[in-house]
Amino acid sequence: MPVRPVFRCQFCSERPDPETQAELESQQQDMFFGQYVDVGPNRWLVWHGHGPLGPKRHACGTHRGELTAYLRFHYASVGAQVWKMGPYPRPPQAAGNACAAHMSRMGGSGFAV
């Protein structure tokens, strides 16, 4: 059965337009740690926290400032990444992450034996 992820702004529960939705879906498998990423034509902002920097968070173009303020308030003592200033282009994906994510879903270790 096909599944489509639902993205919502953390602050106003707004849903993205179709173009931004496609961009958000394309970065679902990105394995960034402590990175802000600009998304789509409507200026959405995604925080790839993970681990001690919290979960992945999304904010619409209107609430980008609120997201950065929230993260800086809650995680400033944990990591300096929250203080990074924009623009936030999508960093290049590290080699092997997509393959590793695929292998973990398939039940394999990701290493050839």
Domain residue extents for the chain: 18-105
CA distances from 96 to 40, 49, 80, 89 (A): 25, 20, 26, 20
Whole-number pLDDT of residue 112: 47
pTM score of the predicted model: 0.77
* Residue-level pLDDT at 95: 60
Residue 110's pLDDT is what?
Answer: 47
From the first residue on, what is the mean pLDDT of each consecutive set of 10 residues in the chain (113 residues)?
91 94 88 89 92 92 95 92 87 62 52 45
**pLDDT for the residue 79:** 86
Q: What is the pLDDT of residue 4?
A: 86
